[in-house]
Amino acid sequence: MKSAYAQFLFLMSGADHDQMDRMRSYLTNMCTGWDVEQVKSIVGETLHDIVNPLVFAEAAELIADHKLCGRDVVVVSASGEEIVAPIARALGATHAMATRMVVEDGKYTGEIAFYCYGEGKAEAIRELAAREGYALEHCYAYSDSITDIPMLEVVGHPTVVNPDRALRKEAAARGWPVLTFSRPVSLRDRIPAPSGAAMATTAAVGVSALAAGALTYSLLRRFAF
């Protein structure tokens, strides 16, 4: 069970949109019937030994700056909530929004309830802003992927960080600021790991951060085994 779930987390965290579409049937067969609480327990026991998350030091510093200004920080990711929530806690984020699996009677059905990707991220951010009273025109967004254009468009202060070629071109056309982050560090070294289930941290490709008054950046980029 532990090795199977580790494989499941790897797939859910490292997949892009096209890969996720191809994996839907595979994920359904893999996790159908798994007990959610047992999965969370396994994550807490093993995941920090399987995957060592990397965070850009500049991103951690940016989060700290936003928090000092009294802004909420929210992690937004296409990865599964089982992966994203522990990272958000480790980074001191206020909220986390991520892809969710369907759960019935405490077990995964194998279906994906909400895919936090592309326009889905923008939708999730708008809903959170309405619920929490965030003024999106005063929020900041950070991303490295062209797929996050919908998210960047909903805030007043979009910024691209280490952008892919398509996003760099788009940023130039729109006059968006471009930042370069170059100092990856281990999340364990940067932020002491908590005990218990909260130790279940992993790297999530495409993670973003929302701060009210502030919004988002792809904080964690690659797996380090």
Q: Which DSSP string corresponds to 55-107?
A: EEHHHHHHHHHHHHTT-EEEEEEEEEHHHHHHHHHHTT-SEEEEEEEEEETTE
Record the tokens describing residue 33, joined without a space: 């019937």
Q: Which residues contact 36 (CB under 8 A, 6 or more apart)?
A: 103, 106, 107, 108
Query: Of 62-76, 141-155, 184-198, where does mean pLDDT reach its minimum?
Result: 184-198
Q: Would strands 223-224 and 52-56 be described as parallel, antiparallel, or unpaired?
A: antiparallel
State pTM to two decimals. Answer: 0.74
Checking if the pLDDT of 172 tops 60, the result is: yes
Domain over 2-224 is classified CATH 3.40.50.1000:
yes
Average pLDDT over residues 125-135: 93
Q: Scanning the structure block, which residue is given the tokens 């859910």? A: 12
How many helices (H) does the chain have, and how many strands (E)?
A: 9, 10
193/101 Cα distance (integer angstroms) = 26
Checking if the pLDDT of 92 tops 80, the result is: yes
**What pLDDT score was predicted for residue 130?**
94
When the pLDDT of each residue in the chain is averaged and rounded to a whole number, the result is: 74
User: 142 in helix, strand or coil?
Assistant: strand
16 DSSP 8-state letter: -
Residue with the larger pLDDT of the pair 95 and 215: 95
Checking if the pLDDT of 211 tops 60, the result is: no
Checking if the pLDDT of 75 tops 50, the result is: yes
Model confidence band, residue 122 (pLDDT cutoffs 50, 70, 90)? very high
Q: Where are the domains of the chain?
A: 2-224
**What pLDDT score was predicted for residue 64?**
87
Average pLDDT over residues 123-128: 94
